[in-house]
Amino acid sequence: MEERVKQIKQQLSAHNYKLTPQREATVRVLLENEEDHLSAEDVYLLVKEKAPEIGLATVYRTLELLSDLTIIHKLNFGDGVTRYEFRAEGAEHHHHHLICLNCGAVDEIIDDWLGPIEKRVEKEFDFQIIDHRLTFHGICHRCKDQVKDPGKLVGSKVT
């Protein structure tokens, strides 16, 4: 934890940014909730618990800054809010997500299985891939017993 904060501090300094108390509080919240996909509002409320004087705009600015430096990654699961997660260290692409249409849980696939498909895209479409996003929508293992008609779940969801 401490060394991750330190590492981020170095990444900031490398670009002439400082790790201010507000930024540090925000980073710590992100680290403490690394398994979640927090929205800016989520982060704001959590940071406020340890640093009540922080402003919402500062949280947004910090998230934007961390995102610019590719320390974290902006995600959009179609629920109207931008979410944030740490970039897998060293990983060129971020991982994939499994979104349960029944309970809303977001699980992750750590592996990147798209290698062969990317090669095909680059070749057939002359498209140089920088990043990708793969999301599966369906029923997670926790819900499979209580959902009888999955067809009902499809509909107006943004994907």
Partner DNA sequence: TTATCATATGAGATTTGATATCAATTGAAT
Partner DNA sequence: ATTCAATTGATATCAAATCTCATATGATAA
User: What is the residue whose two structure tokens read 């699961």?
Assistant: 77
Which of the listed partners (DNA, a second copy, none) does 39 bind, with a CB threshold of 5 to 8 Å by partner kind?
Answer: DNA
Nearer to a second copy, 48 or 67 (CB): 67
143 marked ligand binding residue? yes
Give the separation between CA 47 and CA 40, rounded to whole angstroms.
10
94 marked ligand binding residue? yes
Quick one: which of 29, 37, 38, 39 contacts DNA (CB under 7 A)? 39
Which of the listed partners (a second copy, DNA, none) does 107 bind, with a CB threshold of 5 to 8 Å by partner kind?
Answer: a second copy
Return the amino acid letter for 94.
H
Cα distance from N-terminal residue to C-terminal residue, the chain: 34
Which of the listed partners (DNA, a second copy, none) does 115 bind, with a CB threshold of 5 to 8 Å by partner kind?
Answer: none
Give the separation between CA 49 and CA 94, rounded to whole angstroms.
30
137 marked ligand binding residue? no
Are the C-beta atoms of residues 68 and 119 closer than 8 Å to each other? no
User: Residue 80: helix, strand or coil by DSSP?
Assistant: coil
Binding residues for Fe cation: 94, 132
Annotated binding residues, written as ranges, equal 94, 100, 103, 132, 140, 143
